[in-house]
Amino acid sequence: MVGMNKYIAFLLVLVAPFGAVADDANTDGDALQELYGVYEAVQQFCGGISDRISSVSGVAKINTAVTAVGTVASGGALAAGIMKSQTDKKIEELQKQICERGGCDPDKVAAMSDEEFLDIVAKPFVRQMELDRELQRLQQEKDAATAKSKKLGNWRTGLMAGGVATNIASAIVAGLNRNQSDLIQQITACNTAVDKLRVARSSAINSGVNPIENPILNEFNTTIQACGTLNVADIEKIEKRMTVVMGTSIGGAVIGAVGTGTSAAANTDKIRDDDTDAGKQKEKNLNTAANVSAGLATATGAVGTGFNISLITLTKKLMKTAEQCENTL
């Protein structure tokens, strides 16, 4: 009986270590199973973020092109307006010279005194012909300058109208893509899942799972490092910049619309043909206002374009981070 008890005790000593190994194996398996479950959540929430950021980047690129075209159009309108102002000054100078040579008042001869009339009639015939040719040349130059001024005024109006259209398009695009709450929620969920994976990995190691025997732990660590750098604050920056683009585009559209109407009014025959002092001053005021509007529209367009370019830079950085994360999944 004593010998039997010794035999049983000997068997228990032999079997005990294998039981411990089995318990350890079960513990490792449970820890790894939990770890895989958390990792699947990371795959679910962190996957596809790069595609969504790429969509935002595409919008920013389109809007950059739109606002750039609008800025160029408004700048062209400003340039045309400046050239028109210079041309109008030339027209004024030519008109003055024409008037000095008697080309403004057909009834001037009737108002002359006998001495003035005899003085003019007594001038050499050749000299009188030269004066007539000079008057004709000045009139032709003035007519050409007037036609140029009219064309420049039309260009300014047309370019400003084009700038208004691009600003409206830019405001619509920016407004539709300004709200990135879905992307923020996904990145928030991704960050939460990554944090849980970090905790689960540490728990697995603390429970005795050996990273050397289970290299998947190192792969999980790579995922944690790559995916843990996604930042919700960067997406919030996108929203803020989209808001600025939308605001500048709306402002540019309003300014451009006012300027377009002013430019069109300044270039009507009714305004241009009013040779009274009040009429000339009104034309100058309208042209100045149109040029100022073109300048302001150009400035707002440049701001919008600048923010769109900064959006492209920001989304490029986010794309790289998201792709590095997804490559580890």
- Find the mean pLDDT for residues 182-188: 91
What pLDDT shows up at residue 260? 92
The predicted structure's pLDDT at residue 102: 65
Could you give the 3-state DSSP secondary structure of residue 48? coil
pLDDT value, residue 231: 86
**Spatial distance between the Cα atoms of 46 and 224, rounded to a whole number of angstroms:** 11
Predicted pLDDT of residue 2: 38
Mean pLDDT over 219-245 rounds to: 88
Say if residue 194's pLDDT is above 90.
yes
Phi, psi of 159 (to 5 degrees): -65, -40
Q: What is the per-residue pLDDT for 5?
A: 41
In degrees and rounded to multiples of 5, residue 296 shows phi and psi of -65, -40
Torsion of CA 2, 5, 7, 10, to 10 degrees: -130
| DSSP reduced 3-state for 320 | helix
What are the tens digits of pLDDT across the range 143-178? 888 888 889 889 999 899 988 999 888 888 888 888
Q: What local confidence, expressed as pLDDT, does residue 196 receive?
A: 92
pLDDT (tens digit per residue) in 22-57:
344 455 567 677 888 888 889 999 989 989 888 888
Residue 92 has pLDDT above 60, yes or no: yes
State if pTM tops 0.85.
Answer: no
Spatial distance between the Cα atoms of 49 and 133, rounded to a whole number of angstroms: 77
Question: How far, in Å, CA of 94 to CA of 278, rounded?
Answer: 20
Burial class from Cβ neighbours inside 10 Å (0-12, 13-18, 19+) for residue 33 reads exposed
Residue the block writes with tokens 């300048």: 295
Q: Evaluate whether 260 touches 160 at the Cβ level (below 8 Å).
A: yes
Cα(282)–Cα(288) distance, rounded to whole angstroms?
A: 10
CA distance 149 to 141: 12
Residue 310 · residue 241 · CB < 8 Å = yes
**110 DSSP 8-state letter:** T
pLDDT of residue 128: 57
Contact 149, 91 (CB under 8 A): yes
pLDDT of residue 59: 86
- The per-residue pLDDT for range 98-149, each reduced to its tens digit, is 777 666 665 555 565 656 655 655 554 445 556 667 777 778 888 888 888 8
Of the candidates 295, 287, 182, 177, the residue with the CA atom closest to the CA atom of residue 243 = 177
Residue 192 is predicted with a pLDDT of 92
Distance CA 70, CA 168 (A): 10
CA atoms within a 13 Å half-sphere pointing along the CA-CB vector of 65 = 5
Residue 2, amino acid: V
Q: pLDDT tens for residues 209-226?
A: 777 777 888 888 899 999
Are 167 and 253 contacting, i.e. CB atoms less than 8 angstroms apart?
yes
**Residue 17 DSSP one-character state:** H
DSSP string, 207-224: TT--TTT-THHHHHHHHH
Q: What is the mean pLDDT of the chain?
A: 80
